[in-house]
Structure 1
Amino acid sequence: MHELVLICSEDSVETVSDALMEVDALSVSVEDADADTDAEKALFGEPGMPVARSGWQRSVVRALFASEAEATECATLLLAQDWATDVHVQTIQQVPEQDWVRLTQSQFAPVEITPEFWIVPSWHEAPAQAVKVMRLDPGLAFGTGTHPTTRMCLRWIAGHGDNNQPWKRVLDYGCGSGILAIGAALHGAQNIDAVDIDPAAVISSEANAAANKVSLKAALPDAAQGEYPLVLANILATPLKLLAPLLCAHVAPGGHLVLAGILERQADELKQAYAPWLQLEVSDSEDGWILMTARRPG
């Protein structure tokens, strides 16, 4: 396996990436050439913010090929193009053979939600102190328990489920991997609707629920119908504001709304967006992120 490493400008990074895929590169990745320097720039933002640029001012483009000859041929072909005047070959280097599966798995360890509730990848043994275990492997959809927003939602579920009256219906809006829906099921919830605009998330949620031997209905958002004692949504602040009337309408009398994906500085805008229907408050915080909850009067 050999890697072709190129340096190119923001204007050409998309053309270069497309060209590499056209010549059958095994993979193509793009990085900031100025990463970890004073010139490093953020590239991506939230939905509703200005459109992200197509690349950094200077980008490193890495492409994998099965052989050195293929990598060299590709570099020669690229540099011959009229549009490639600012494309430069940094190196062609051999990539050591690795057990990529084992390497990937080593990056995902069991995640503690509470001392008794853990998320554990299938290749790990559950910790001895774990009373409840969710089996979850990295996949196509967002949600492995490593992000603060997910952990805060699951902590809230663990603190309000089981010992209290079980939730008769639950809505997980923007379910991703189904992690929150499964967490609710493990804590006594019934009749769970896990919905997402991404069909891959629907498939992922169904598979993860089966792996944990819990029941839920995964579907596109139109499947969310009626009122629920618990409504969960771990998305981002901008879509959460837009969804305020819809999500609030799904909260049953006496029911809870639990929102995440919100930065500390966005608390007031979320409170204002939901004020016509429910009074949000900050219930938890971690690493600059907050959990906001509300309860509809019974």
Structure 2
Amino acid sequence: MASRIRTTISNLPAWLDLPEPQAFRPKRRYRTIWISDIHLGTRGCNAVMLLDFLRSVECDVLYLVGDILDGWRLRKGWYWPDAHNEVVRRILKMAHGGTRVILIAGNHDEMLRPYAGMSFGGVEVALDAVHLTADGRRLLVTHGDSFDSVVLYARWLAFLGDKAYSVLLRLNVVLNAVRRRLHLPYWSLSAYLKKRVKNAVQFIGAYEEAVAHAARDCHVDGVVCGHIHSAEIRQIGDITYYNDGDWVESCTALVEAADGTISLVDWAEECRLRAAKAPATAPSEEKEYA
């Protein structure tokens, strides 16, 4: 990975130094957190739920594993509600507060790839990285689009698929707006269909095998990626495959504990359980997502 070039920023905004508000629950402490596929700039982005997660955790290193911004969608039309600003502000505050933040550029935010090796507001931009866990394992961290044959060899087909997927996500937004009015928890139609469509299941399996094979060639112990919006921890031969999921459908993150143990956090499920116990404290969705 290219050497990092630190930029000096003067006249930092005052909000970076404001004290944290009193938390309504203790923050969870992790060594490392991986999140990806936030797709800021789209209506499908669950920014409110992501903010709830980010405000509930602390970590030494935060990896943003690609598709944080959705440049494909923003080129077609501007959509940027306040909650998306708050996600950016929260990440910058974490970087300012001592968390090392590394952004791995993905295919939807590929406009950041020429800036690999540079740092903006404390956020390091990279094409990929190698993470050393607390128990001594080396993990390749990459967005994963380079292993997607559709994106790699048929870019026009990828854009066509993105259009169809966007329609499905819009249906997902409408469905969850109705569910909120009925006081029902968040549920992802797109994730449900993906797990049950034979071709999608076959694609995910082939993708995981391809990523693991590439990681083996890099002589690492495992690989962390995103891209396909399918959270998973799976052993493939001598390679441990980790996918941190997304914040459009599943709302999941990958976390490393102090001893090097890595696990998935299903924040949508945690919000459902929290709402069932104390509905008044559950994070609310904003009207612009309806």
Q: TM-score, normalised by structure 2?
A: 0.29
As a proportion of its length, which structure holds more strand? 1
As a proportion of its length, which structure holds more helix? 2
Q: TM-score, normalised by structure 1?
A: 0.28
